[in-house]
Amino acid sequence: MLGLFWLEQSTFCLIQGSFNKMSSAAPQGHNWTSPQPAAGEEGEDPVEQMISRTGCIAFHHAVMECMAEHHDWRKCQAQVKAFRDCVNQYQKNRLEELRRGQKPVPTDG
């Protein structure tokens, strides 16, 4: 499964696989488990939930579709830029809300 993970404020990285594949010498992470969806239900990816809250989910899906089609991130730069611009705008708005002491306003994706 292809996932999107934040590395720094406005930089992101597409990775494939799990964190356990990174190194066998690395210490084991936590042993927390997420509640499993009931039979027939599909749980939503927590990364997608986070992106949905930004209002940028359509841009994220465009990147994922492009990657699935081309298997080469270099061919998806327009989609990546649009997604990055959306997230940067969300972060700018969120920072301004925090500076003013306001509660965040939910966005419609």
Per-residue pLDDT band at 37 (split at 50, 70, 90): low
69 in any annotated domain: yes
50 in any annotated domain: no
- Mean pLDDT within 1-22: 44
62 in any annotated domain: yes
Looking at the whole model, is its pTM more than 0.95?
A: no
Counted domains in the chain: 1
Per-residue pLDDT band at 74 (split at 50, 70, 90): very high
85 in any annotated domain: yes
36 in any annotated domain: no
User: Are the C-beta atoms of 14 and 3 separated by less than 8 Å?
Assistant: yes
Amino acid at 41: E
Q: Domain of residue 62: give its range.
A: 57-103
94 in any annotated domain: yes
**Residue 9 DSSP symbol:** S
